[in-house]
Amino acid sequence: MIKAKDNHIYCFDSSNNDTLLDQANNKELAILAKALGHPARVHILKVLAQKQSCICGEIVEKMDGLAQSTVSQHLKILKNAGLIRGEIEGTAVCYCLDLNGLRRLRVLIADI
């Protein structure tokens, strides 16, 4: 395997070096990466980041013609991955970024 680090290339054999923690981290990163694997979900994160507060009904309006049910499915995937939170307020669900989930994503990516 080749890994770029500090502008150097290192070759190493990691075939037997995966610990249970490494395997768990790899699985977690794969789940998070899959959640980011659609442009609409990336756009949702950007919309929430720009607002810097919870958003209730505005997300669908900012999704360039996507149906409400499609946006809801994308929100569910992001929520299940731990990248956003959804809180019920009256008859609406308000969404905001889950900063702990985004920090975890940053840590896992930095570990690559």
**Residues of the chain above pLDDT 90, percent:** 65
What is the value of pTM for the model shown? 0.80
Domain ranges for the chain, please list them: 20-110
**Average pLDDT of the chain, as a whole number:** 87
Q: Which CATH number fits domain 20-110: 3.40.50.2300, 3.40.1000.10, 2.60.40.2310, 1.10.10.10?
A: 1.10.10.10
Q: Identify the residue with better confidence: 52 or 47.
A: 47
- In this predicted structure, the answer to whether residue 1 has a pLDDT above a threshold of 50 is no
Q: Identify the residue with better confidence: 46 or 64.
A: 46
Q: Distances in Å between the alpha carbon of 78 and those of 18, 37, 44, 56, 59?
A: 28, 10, 9, 15, 13
What number is the average pLDDT over the span 26-53? 94
